[in-house]
Chains A and B, each alone.
Chain A
Amino acid sequence: MGLLDLFRRTPPSAHVAKERLRIIIQQERDRRGGGSPDYMPLLRRELLEVIRKYVNVDPAAVQINVEREDGQEILEFSVALPEKAR
């Protein structure tokens, strides 16, 4: 690292890698571990259809997760709206 590099900071890519992995691995574990109920893919598809009646969202913008905490199950659902939704 030279003098110039001290002033030229880019966000560390390792952090990005970790976040991406955290999400995809959680999803894949849920999918295979019987972690998520088997209606999940259908629920995801139908929700997507409903949302698309109103907003044209990308399928990848819809995230559904079942999380377990202290014996409670939480269905987490998030949709990232496109910049010009209307």
Chain B
Amino acid sequence: MTEIIVVTSGKGGVGKTTTSASLSCGLARRGKKVAVIDFDIGLRNLDLIMGCERRVVYDFVNVIQGECTLKQALIKDKRLETLFVLAASQTRDKDALTSEGVRRVFDELVADGFDYIVCDSPAGIEKGAHLAMYFADRAVVVVNPEVSSVRDSDRILGLLSSKTKRAENGGDKVREHLLLTRYSPKRVATGEMMSVGDVKEILGLDVVGVVPESADVLAASNAGTPVILNDGSDVSQAYQDAVSRLLGETVPLRFVDEPKKGFFARVFGG
């Protein structure tokens, strides 16, 4: 059984691509065969985050337009045996992506025995975002604990429940999960940032992960190594927990509470 997961958010810059890269790596590390696809036609970026930008010869649109085979376009990850990247096209216009074309590519991945297809959605609610979510079985909604991001994700939830294949067929809904990024337990403790509980309550979603704010994310993107592979970091462990939850395991939330400060640190600042 192939499961199609869309990583989406509405708002830009909240960590969709970082999340797509890390979840894909995490699933592949757990022995799953994974294809991660960049749906941001015209603004390709997943290849950079995955560190395979110099190996892109053919892209998603080339496959859809029959200019190459899917096998030629899939870039095999150098670190993980069972992970493949399909880059977005940089040059063509968005209309090159068609629902029929996307379906053909997915059918072929299913026939090839992929366990997961991870769709990295572009920001916004235009065609690319629509096609990224259309065939999804599950959605990981990436949210920053900040008003505009939360509101935009609610728009996306509306689209997931009306403009997807599952919604149109009237069968089981797309399973929706909340993944909070750039979370700062310290600012939550001082009342400057909404908590996991707040966002969860507003959106009415189950939490698949909480990723703390960290300099490691930028360091990872600088290096082209998905941050989940930086095993020592909190961010990596938070993403590994999210992968476990996607696989149906129950794992307690970590990195959501501020480490307790001693008396002197509190009085004299620290």
Contact = CB atoms under 8 A, between A and B. Distances in A.
A32 B155 CA distance: 9
Given A2-B268, A14-B191, A32 B202 contact: no
Given A14-B191, A29-B154, A29-B158, A21 B202 contact: yes
Tell me the interface secondary structure of chain A in the complex: helix
Looking at A13, A25, A28, the one whose CB has the most chain B CB atoms below 10 A away is: A25
Interface residues of A, number: 20
B121 to A, nearest CB: 19
A18 B202 contact: yes
A13 B267 CA distance: 23
Contacts of B188: 14
B26 to A, nearest CB: 30
Given A3-B268, A14-B191, A25 B154 contact: yes
Contact of B192 (A14, A20, A33): A14
A3 to B, nearest CB: 6
A17 B194 contact: yes
A14 B195 contact: yes
A15 B154 contact: no
Interface of B: 145-147, 150-151, 154-155, 158, 188, 190-195, 198, 202-203, 266-269
26 contacts: A1-B266, A2-B268, A3-B269, A11-B191, A12-B190, A12-B192, A14-B145, A14-B191, A14-B193, A14-B194, A14-B195, A14-B198, A15-B191, A17-B146, A17-B194, A20-B147, A21-B202, A24-B151, A25-B151, A25-B154, A25-B202, A28-B154, A28-B158, A29-B154, A29-B158, A33-B158
